[in-house]
C-alpha cells in the first residue's frame, strides 16, 4: 500500500514536457540570461506548450507583459503582407528556425533570440515638442516596454522583408535576421533601424 502511494507522489511531482518554461516542449527558458538589466523584467519566456493564448490578455491593462515573448514575436510576424493571419504557419517557421539555430550552434536558440532583442532595442528616440507654432524634434529616453516592442517589431519586419522578391522561405529569413542581430551586425534590419534612430536622437539633443 505504501509503495503505491509513493509511486503516485512521484508521478505527481514529475515535470510534464511542454509545461512551464519549456518552449515548444524542447528548450528550457530558465537557462536564458538577459544582459540588459532594463529589459530583463519585461521579457517573459514562460509558456505552456505551443505559444497560443488566443488573445485573452488583449484588453487587459499592460496585458502584453503576461504574454510570452515567443508568442509576441510570432504575432509580429503576422503584421501585414502574405503572412497576415497565418499564425500556425509563422509558429511552425519560427520553431524550424530555432531547430536550425540549435543544430548549427549547439546552444540554446532562445539565448540567440534574447541577444538579438537586446542588440536591436533602441535606448533613445525622438518626439516633437511644440513651442507656439514651431515644432522641434527632441531626444527622449525610451521606456523598457517600448524598447521591447520596437525590437520585436523591427526583428519581425526584417524577417518578413528577407522573403520579399526572393525564393527564401520565412524560416530562412528568421534564421538570417536573428543570427545577424544577435551578432550586432549592421546589415541586420533591426540593428540598422536602432542605429539610425539613436543617431537621429543624438543630433536632436
How many domains does the chain fold into?
A: 1
What does the pLDDT read at residue 35? 87
CATH number for the domain harbouring residue 40: 1.10.455.10
User: Residue 124 — φ and ψ, nearest 5°?
Assistant: -130, 155
What does the pLDDT read at residue 25? 79
pLDDT, tens digit (0-9, with 9 covering 90-100), for 143-169: 999 999 999 999 999 988 888 888 889
| Nearest CA-CA partner of 51 in 83, 27, 80 | 27
Average pLDDT for residues 34-48, to the nearest whole number? Answer: 84
pLDDT, tens digit (0-9, with 9 covering 90-100), for 91-122: 899 999 999 999 988 888 999 999 999 999 99
Domain extent, residue 70, equals 2-203
pLDDT of 174 over the 70 cut: yes
What does the pLDDT read at residue 20? 54
What does the pLDDT read at residue 194? 92
| Nearest CA-CA partner of 194 in 159, 158, 167 | 158
Average pLDDT for residues 120-138, to the nearest whole number? Answer: 88
In this prediction the pTM is 0.82
What does the pLDDT read at residue 21? 66
Query: Helices 109-119 and 189-203 meet at what angle, rounded to 10?
Result: 20
Amino acid at each position: 500500500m505504501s509503495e503505491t502511494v509513493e509511486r503516485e507522489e512521484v508521478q505527481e511531482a514529475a515535470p510534464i514536457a511542454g509545461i512551464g518554461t519549456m518552449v515548444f516542449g524542447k528548450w528550457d527558458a530558465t537557462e536564458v540570461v538577459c544582459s540588459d538589466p532594463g529589459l530583463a523584467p519585461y521579457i517573459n519566456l514562460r509558456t505552456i506548450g505551443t505559444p497560443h493564448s488566443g488573445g485573452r490578455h488583449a484588453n487587459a491593462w499592460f496585458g502584453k507583459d503576461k504574454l510570452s515573448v515567443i508568442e509576441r514575436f510570432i504575432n509580429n510576424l503576422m503584421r501585414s503582407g502574405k503572412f497576415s493571419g497565418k499564425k500556425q504557419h509563422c509558429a511552425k517557421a519560427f520553431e524550424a528556425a530555432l531547430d536550425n539555430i540549435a543544430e548549427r550552434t549547439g546552444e540554446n536558440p532562445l539565448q540567440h533570440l534574447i541577444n538579438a532583442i537586446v542588440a536591436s532595442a533602441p535606448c533613445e528616440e525622438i518626439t516633437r515638442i511644440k513651442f507656439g507654432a514651431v515644432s522641434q524634434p527632441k531626444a527622449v529616453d525610451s521606456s523598457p516596454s517600448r524598447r521591447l516592442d520596437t525590437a520585436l517589431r523591427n526583428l519581425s519586419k526584417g524577417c518578413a522583408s528577407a522573403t520579399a522578391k526572393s525564393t527564401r522561405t520565412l524560416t530562412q529569413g528568421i534564421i538570417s535576421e536573428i543570427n545577424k542581430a544577435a551578432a550586432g551586425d549592421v546589415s541586420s534590419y533591426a540593428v540598422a533601424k536602432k542605429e539610425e534612430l539613436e543617431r537621429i536622437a543624438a543630433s536632436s539633443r
